[in-house]
Each structure stands twice: as C-alpha cells, then as structure tokens.
Structure 1
Amino acid sequence: MTKKALFSPIICAFLALLLVILIPNSWIESLIPKSRVSQAATELNPVMFQGKYIQSKMLENNRYLPIYGSSELARLDAFHPSNYFQENYDGFVPFLVGRGGTISIIHFLNLAEHTDQLKGKKLVFVLSPQWFQPRGADESHFVPNYSSLQGYDLALNNKINPVVKKDAIKRLLHFVPVRDDQLLKTLYLGEISNDPWVKRKALLVKPLAYAYRGILEKKDLYYSIIGGTSRSREIKQTVKNKSWTQLQQLAAQEGARQATNNRFLVINSQYNKMKKKVPSLKGYKRGASYGRSVEYYDFQLVLDLLKQSGAKPLFISVPVNGPWYDYTGFTKQGRTSYYKRIKEQVQAEGYPIADFSNHEYDPYFMKDTIHIGWKGWVYVDKAIKDFYDNKTPQKSIQM
C-alpha cells in the first residue's frame, strides 16, 4: 500500500470533519424538523436535557409549560400531567425535563443556559426527598446527566450573579468530569481564585473555550436533527371531563388493580423485582434522615438563579411511601424534618409550593417506594392547573 493510499482516508475524514464544523448554524437549524420540540415534550431524551437548542425553542413558545424533575417524570400513565392535559387541554402542553439522577446542580446548569428566557415564565419544579442524602449528589447521579455544553456555557456566562456563579463553580469542581476537563477547570479556577497567574491562565485559554463551545453547540444542533426515540405512552381518554373526585376514585381503582401482591401498595411489577430482598431490608435505614444534606445548598443555587431570572415557578413537594419507610427504619422525624425545611426554603424566596407531605400513608398516592403515581398525579394535575390559572397554592391542594 502506498503512502498516498494509506493517508487518503485520514485526509478525507479530516476534510469531512472540517466541513461539518464550518457549516453555518443557521443552515443546520433549517434542517431540524418543525415538529421536533413537540416530539421532545415527552421523550425524556438525555440528548435534549444536555443540549440547548430544543429547550430554547420550547421556552420561547408560550404553548409549553416546562416541568423539571427526575425519575418520577418517566412514570407515564393515564393520570400523568402529559396525558391529563392532553385530554383536558387548558392552554398549555407539559414539557418534561429530567430523568433519574437529575438533581439540583444538574437543573442549575440547565437553567443557567436559559436565564434570558425565564423572565415571567411559569414552570413547575418537582422535588424528590431522596435527592437529599447527607452528602448530596454523588458521581453515579452526576456523571450520566452532566453536560459539557452547559458546563462551558456557565463558565462563559457573564450575566449570572457573580456570587451565585462562584458558589456553583466551587460545587461543580467536586465532580470528576469537571476536574478532568483541564480547559474547563482552568476557566473555573480563574473565576474563584485571587491568584493573578491563575486568572491570567483563564484569560489566555478563553478563546479556546469559545471555539470548543462552538463545536459543542454545533453537535447539539446535529443531534436535534436526528431527534430521540419516542417513549411509549399510555394515552387514555378515561380522564377526560372528569371531576377531581371522580379522578381520585379512578386513580384509586387503577392502583388497587396494579398493586395487589404487597402490603406497601407498590405496583406489582416493581415489587416483583425487589421481593427477594425485602426481608433483608427491614430496619436497614434506621437513623437515616433527609433533614441535613449538601443538596439544600445546591437547591439554593436553583432558587437564586430563578429569582435573578424573574421566573415564576411552582414547587411540588412529593412525599415518600410511609409504610415502606417505616419498614426500613427510616424515622418519621428524618422525613418530616426534610418536608419542613424544604417548604421553608421555598417560601423564604416567596415562591408557591404544593406540599403533599401529609400523603405518606394515602393508598395509591405513590406508585412504588419513592415515586409518585396514580392518585398522586391527580393532586399534582390540580396543583398545576390552579397554578397556571393563577390560583393560590393553598387552594391547589384541597380536593
């Protein structure tokens, strides 16, 4: 094989890559299907969460109400907001943002990309007690949900309150993907250090950072052309034109049909996966508490960012499965201390919160040990509707 034959594929690949990078963003955007945003509303696609284009398009369209959360958003059933508001259209379409492990610091990075679009924007933020472990988010939850694009956008964003930005950077530097990215780490250290040489290094590499972010943005656009894989949804018209009382009854009936093989009222399919381990889990959480956690500080970053941006959020405080938590020895005090603290933290910023913490023992409010479902979604649907209709959060939890 001649040298020319050997290097020709390499040269062609390099030229092709160069061409892909040099194509104007506007050209790429013109290739993205107009239906991509509506498709992404329930796809729960990590590519969308970690990108920017689709969420930007969603936020500029008043048709969508973003709902930020984590794994509970994937519990798609007839009573889930995506189904309920499709069958009972009230002027908006829920747009789901989050998956398992999408904790406060990840939401902060995501929202920080869109601060200019959040002024006056209504949104819903679902809180999960299990985020509030004593040490906060760990690598196993952070790594799969971290976005380099969002990390660089934060570094190059000069509009965020400097104090909030520095606090966020200090927190992010605890995580391996950030520490291992030498370019990003240099930028971050330049933000928080008082050392002139460290700041000078950050200034020197900034042009490289802008160029690399440009590549990441282009990558996001190409992914937006391809789109994601649609999730199967249980579209049912049984929730259409029903009163809240009727919906509660239907939800309880559905829960009773699907949770029949255990005293914790966990959906059968989930309990079958954990059944063998249940005896060994009795009392294993003795002494645990969600009342003290690094996560409260990460969550405060979210609150500070929303306050600065002028967003209008509603927070949903989800309970845990009381019988299951009692069985594992997780004390009532360890739960109520969380409910109380998170409610006070939200209300201190003047935001409404739909607090469902008194539903720990409400049959079929939860679908498993930690995820809301069935009857719980009915309460959330009403809270969202009342919030969108500018009713008080107190009224939104009375059924």
Structure 2
Amino acid sequence: MKKSLFTPLIFAFILLLALVLVPNKWIIKLIPHNRISQAATELNPFMFQGKYVQDKMLSSDKYLPVYGSSELARLDQFHPSNYFQVNKEGVTPFLIGRGGTESLIHFLNFSEHTEQLKNKKIVFVLSPQWFQPGGADESHFAPNFSSLQGYDFAFNDKIDPNMKKRAIKRLLKYNAVNADPMLTILYKADISKDPLVHSEAALVRPFAKAYQQVLIKKDLYYTLAGGPHRHRTISHSVKNKSWNQLEQYADRVGKKYSRSNQFAITDSQYNKIEARVPELKNSKAGASYGRSVEYQDFQLVLDLLKQSGAKPLFISVPVNGNWYDYVGFPKEGRTAYYTRIKNQIEQEGFQVADFSDHEYDPYFMKDTIHIGWKGWVYTDRAITDFLNDSNKTFANK
C-alpha cells in the first residue's frame, strides 16, 4: 500500500525537479520561431505578463508595441492589427494589455525592458475610466499582476532609486503584493531605514533569487506551450482607401451595428444594459476623472519611458458624450481629465493624439467607453503619421 501511495508522488517530484533543472537555453531552442508573430494579436496574459516574448518582440523592428487595456480586444476591420496588416505599412502591431491593465501594471512591464525600449517607438492607449479617485482597485490590479515582473523589479538596480521607491510605496497598497512575504520584505527594504527589515531582506534574498529563476523558467515553458490559438479574420475592406473614405466606411458600419439606441452604442452591448438604462439616468452626478491617484501612477510610466529613451505616442480616447450626459457625468469632470492628461504628457516632451473633441462624434466609440469604428480610423492615421515622423496636430484631422 505504501509503495502504491508514494510512487506517484516520488515520480511527480522527480519530474518537477527535472523540469526545473533543464537549462533555459535548451527550452529556448524548442520554442517555435513563429511564437512571437502568433502572440501579436493573441492577447494572451501568459505572454505579456512574462518576459521572453516581449524581449524578442522589442528587439525586432518588425513589431510596433501597442499598450492599453480592454479596448485592444475590440478587433474589427479598422483596428490597427487589421489595418496595418492589409495596408503593408511595414510594421505589425503587437497588442499588450487587457481589462484592468492600468498604469502600475504597465510600469512593471516597462521596467522589465528598459534597455529594449531605447529609441523604440511605441503606442500607449489611455482610457479615462482608469482615473477613478482611488486609481486601480484590487479587482483590476490582482489578475494582471505578474510575480515575475514583481521580482525582476525588486532586483532591478538600473531604475532611478527615487522612482523605484515611489512605485514600491504604491505597490505595497495591494494585497496581491503583500500576499507574497518574500517580495514584501524585499520591497520594504528598499524604502525602510530599519536595520531589522534590511536583515530580513538579506536572509530571504537568496531564496527570492532562486524563486525568480523558477519564474523565468515557468515563463519559458508557457512560451514553449503557447496559448489557445484565436483565429483572427482578416478584412481587406480597408485596403488602399483614403482617410476620408475610411471615415465614411466607418460611419456606415457603425450605423449598421448601432440601430437600437440614440447613444450610438453597438446593439449587442446595448441589449445587455437596456433593462437598467432608466435607473442609470443621472446616476453619475458629481463624478470626475480630474482627481485620481492614477495620475501619480501614470507619472511613473512617463518617468520610466523617459529614463529608458523610448519614443511613445499616447492616444487620448474620449468617452461617449451622449451616454455620459445621460448618466449625469458632468462635462467639467471629463474636460478636467482631458486637459490634465494632455498637459502631463506634453510636459515630458511626448506626443499625444488628443481625441477629446470627438465625444459626440457618432461611431467614434463602440459603446460607453471603448473606442470604436471611426475612433480606430483616427488612431490608424495618428499612428501612420507617428511612424512617418509627422508633427501634425492629431486631434484636428
């Protein structure tokens, strides 16, 4: 009985030990050459919460990294992933982000790749709804937090020390970080003058280093295995069209899929909220995106990109003005955000495509908060000018 009970456990332990001891270079040799191109539109969190795939992507001139959140999954014929593929602009957008991927998560991600970001053009899509008074809450932060990126950040001595301390103080506000005692001790040692804390950090450091190596190997195995392949339909309907033609086409498509309501919200989304629409009227009175700790978190992103020598284009997405008026979200509470975020970006010398004037532009948004058909057309044009080093005023096109 004992033999039959313990044999599977012993076998499992030996197998686990073997997997851990396999040299990383052996695993890397087995990773398919097309894994990076597959991951470009997969939106697989295993890929963008890891390190290997992004290292390879950022080292290639083929890819244009596009960072954002849930809007990246709104793939249609106008989406940059489709537009740039069929129009052969020389780059392939690589999508990094999902719902809840806000400033602190992007900051940790960028901190993994500071050397590859030097002189690298990237696109960063901003969402107003990130800028709630308390910033990213636990429910959005925790699913997107990467232990590998968290440990790599702890051992990263290339980041400006003051910036690192600011980031750690924010990270320690989250249960997802505090739930890891080794990481918590390492972080506290960076911001504390207490000798006891530094002694504890010295004790756990070797174990933390070992765990970091396990996380690196885990990332390689995930990359080797890949994720569930999502078939993306490629539409050639946007090929070789002028920007005016694309706008008109986007209007037609938007109208076709938004017939059920006066807010130009896609029918499928409106059907989900239709029963609650009457009770939502004036439910957001007094709200504002102009005051939020997210601005501090976003400043960390700006500071790190500046230190890294990256060349970002920020896309400032509006809200659906008609819907926001209906729910009573004050116009000044939106304008405060548009003005503040634009000033914050430009003060660092970065470019921003400010689309705040399009709040009431039908079909610019697909629903209440996500960029839609016409919005992607404007984004495609802004990215094209950015890649061509144009200094035009993006918002006035």
TM-score by length of 1: 0.98
What residue number does 1:223 align with?
A: 222
Deviation at 1:12, TM superposition (A): 1.2
State how far apart, in whole Å, the 2-side matches of 1:120 and 1:203 are: 36
In structure 1, the partner of 2:50 is 51
How big is the alpha-carbon RMSD for the aligned residues of Structure 1 and Structure 2? Answer: 0.9
Contact 2:126 2:314 in 1 (8 A): yes
> Alignment partner of 2:367: what SS?
coil
User: C-alpha separation between the residues in 2 aligned to 1:231 and 1:4?
Assistant: 44
8 Å Cα contact 2:107/2:300 also seen in 1: yes
Determine the structure 1 residue equivalent to 2:79: 80
Q: How far does the alpha carbon of each residue in 1:234-275 deviate from its partner, in whole angstroms, 9 at most, with x for none? A: 421110000000000000000010000000000000000110
Letter in 1 for 2:73: A
Matched ranges for 1:15-30 at <5 A: 15-30=14-29
- The equivalent residue for 1:182 is 181
The Cα of 1:231 is off from its aligned counterpart by 3.1
In the TM superposition, residue 200 of structure 1 has moved relative to its aligned partner by: 1.8
Contact kept, 8 Å, 1:124 with 1:316, in 2: the verdict is yes
> How many Å separate the matches in 2 of 1:320 and 1:231?
29
Counterpart in the other structure of 2:260: 261
Q: Which residue of 2 aligns with 1:116?
A: 115
Taking the TM superposition and a 5 Å limit, the aligned residue runs for 1:68-217 are 68-217=67-216
Aligned equivalents of 1:135, 1:278: Cα separation in 2: 26
Whole-Å Cα distance in 1 between the matches of residues 277 and 87 of structure 2?
A: 39
Give the letter aligned to residue 228 of structure 1. G
**SS of residue in 2 equivalent to 1:96:** strand
Which residue of the partner structure matches residue 12 of structure 1?
Answer: 11
Name the CA distance, whole Å, in 1 between partners of 2:277 and 2:228: 34
Q: CA deviation at 1:7?
A: 1.8
Give the deviation of 1:78 after TM superposition.
Answer: 0.4
Aligned with 1:91: secondary structure? coil
1:302 aligns with 2:301: yes
Aligned-pair distance for 1:197? 1.5
TM-score by length of 2: 0.99
Letter in 1 for 2:88: Y
Give the drift of 1:10: 1.4
Give per-residue Cα distances to partners, 1:198-253, cap 9 Å, x unaligned.
11211221111110010001010000011122334342111000000000000000
Q: State the distance in 1 between where 2:344 and 2:202 align.
A: 37
Gaps spanning 5+ residues in structure 2: where?
none
Q: CA deviation at 1:9?
A: 1.6
Is the contact between residue 357 and residue 395 of structure 2 (CA under 8 Å) also seen in structure 1? no
Cα distance in 2 between the residues matched to 1:234 and 1:334? 39
Which amino acid is the alignment partner of residue 181 of structure 2? Q
Identical aligned pairs, as a percentage? 65
Counterpart contact for 2:103–2:294, Cα < 8 Å: yes
Count the aligned residue pairs.
Answer: 397
Tell me if structure 2 keeps the 8 A contact 1:354–1:393.
no
Report the counterpart of residue 335 of structure 2 in structure 1: 336
